Structure 1
């Protein structure tokens, strides 16, 4: 079982890093070569960076821990790795929230009210992302004082052991403080679900309007509105499911002494969306593949 868990962690990290690094490299290459990028591409690259933080900061170390290689980090290393994981996880949630809201505005009906917002929203993307980085960087500073390397940890029922790092959960967190700390996450998840439902509603209306045209052409291919709806539902359901399950496991671990199996399961769930996300984005956005063909065309020798 330990060997299978180790293979799962390394496979999850390797697959996810390849997908996210592909997006980071692609958009960075296009940017530095002077290509015109869409406003949404900035959201994609930031989401890929946040996902990479989550995968790199925990996947490899958790896999080594499962295989029995513990005490890999000292206090400073433990604090850096765990802090980066927390920041990356919260950033992934916030940037997914920005992405969902941006897409909902872009596909909204063409009327004077929405047209003004559509014209302004690209200017708000970069400031919104910067605010998210600053907010989550400062928000998670408090976790640093609760982290210790496993070499300096005494056995305690108030400590969660990750093998390479330990978290002292303590008893000083009241129910009100826990609710206040989780409130931004709950608000973000609610917003993602609301905007995703709105997008599905708009795509369904558009599908009804053009259904006769598609039917008259007798085309066997899948309707584009149906494909877009499926991608939205896949991305959102994947994100919400894994995030909620990981949150439930984390809350349970803070309520009592967790077993090693529960700790490893929570870590696997935390990395599932960062692993799947880039491939869903690549499959759902045809422009990304056009970018890739452009990059390959620029690199190929001219005859």
Structure 2
């Protein structure tokens, strides 16, 4: 059990470092350069992923609440609320990333060509809408979580060492489950639809390039690389989402959260925000060029110091 806990710490540490690096990179791009709309989406996604690690691991919230001497019940409500908000934002931003890239790679003859400029202009309003909806939607959950006391007496379901869920009315729980599942299934469906559309576009493009004997141009296309990266991110998210959904649904239906199941779910939950920045770092030419320049400058500095000493 302790070895699995160490794996979680390593996974979380790697995820936080990778996302912090990406967040700094995108902030630098947004402030000092002309950012792409995908840069704005990735910037928010990396921030959301950092918050998922800090809240899920009780690294940030615990320290804040302990220093302020705030009781456990408020801490549980705050962490549970924020974790649900960040989970909802993660799926919404990933869906938005998939939709925007599908619109971007669509040919000029398609019906989506009119949406390209419109989507860029209203991007800020889309962000505000996504954040507002998730902040308001997740507020109903705080009434059904409290500081853990004793499961045998109150029929609570312990979800962490210090937090538990209260039993709900069947109608309310069914309504919340239906709304949440419908939203998630809709967003996942949009991701799969846009991903399929992008695969078709890439396949047609490849076939045309083969016909024109310019396959080297296809390989060098930054747009194609960006599309492949987003496809990989979306597919990975969909797989992780359904694994997490099955674990969560089974636990709620059985009204039991085993510590082992909780750790497995946390491992699954951390997988997406850990892998995504690593994929992005390895596929973004701007990051690769920046790292190469930093590496070459370090070598030059080392040789200068060496020769000056001699």
Q: TM (normalized to structure 1)?
A: 0.83
Equivalent-residue separation in structure 1 for 2:4 and 2:238 (angstroms) = 23
Structure 1 position 261, deviation (Å): 1.4
Deviates most, 205-214 or 166-175: 166-175
Query: Corresponding residue for 1:69?
Result: none
Query: Corresponding residue for 2:250?
Result: 252
SS in 2 for 1:148: strand
Matched-pair contact (CA < 8 Å) for 1:106–1:118 = yes
Query: Corresponding residue for 1:104?
Result: 102
Matched-pair contact (CA < 8 Å) for 1:43–1:125 = no
Equivalent-residue separation in structure 2 for 1:139 and 1:297 (angstroms) = 49
Equivalent-residue separation in structure 1 for 2:91 and 2:232 (angstroms) = 16
Equivalent-residue separation in structure 2 for 1:5 and 1:60 (angstroms) = 17
Matched-pair contact (CA < 8 Å) for 1:26–1:292 = no
Equivalent-residue separation in structure 1 for 2:23 and 2:215 (angstroms) = 42
Query: Corresponding residue for 1:271?
Result: 270
Q: Which of 42, 45, 56 is the matching residue for 1:58?
A: 56
Query: Corresponding residue for 1:284?
Result: 283
Structure 1 position 208, deviation (Å): 0.6
Matched-pair contact (CA < 8 Å) for 1:160–1:168 = no
Kindly report the root-mean-square deviation, in angstroms, between the aligned alpha carbons of the 2 structures.
3.3
Q: Which of 26, 38, 41 is the matching residue for 1:40?
A: 38
Give the ranges of 4+ consecutive aligned residues of structure 1 lying more than 4 Å apart after TM superposition. 212-217, 221-230, 290-298
Aligned length: 288
Answer with 1 or 2: which has the greater Rg: 2
Unaligned runs of 5+ in 2: 63-69, 302-310
Unaligned runs of 5+ in 1: 65-71
Query: Corresponding residue for 2:9?
Result: 10
Query: Corresponding residue for 1:68?
Result: none
Structure 1 position 260, deviation (Å): 1.7
Q: Which of 126, 129, 148 is the matching residue for 1:128?
A: 126
Equivalent-residue separation in structure 2 for 1:295 and 1:196 (angstroms) = 35
Structure 1 position 234, deviation (Å): 2.5
Give CA-to-partner distance per residue, 1:266-303, whole Å, 9 cap, x none.
122112111111122223332444566789999x99xx
Matched-pair contact (CA < 8 Å) for 2:98–2:231 = no
Query: Corresponding residue for 1:24?
Result: 23
Equivalent-residue separation in structure 2 for 1:145 and 1:101 (angstroms) = 34
Structure 1 position 212, deviation (Å): 4.5
SS in 2 for 1:110: coil
Matched-pair contact (CA < 8 Å) for 2:29–2:35 = yes
Query: Corresponding residue for 1:67?
Result: none
Equivalent-residue separation in structure 2 for 1:228 and 1:23 (angstroms) = 16
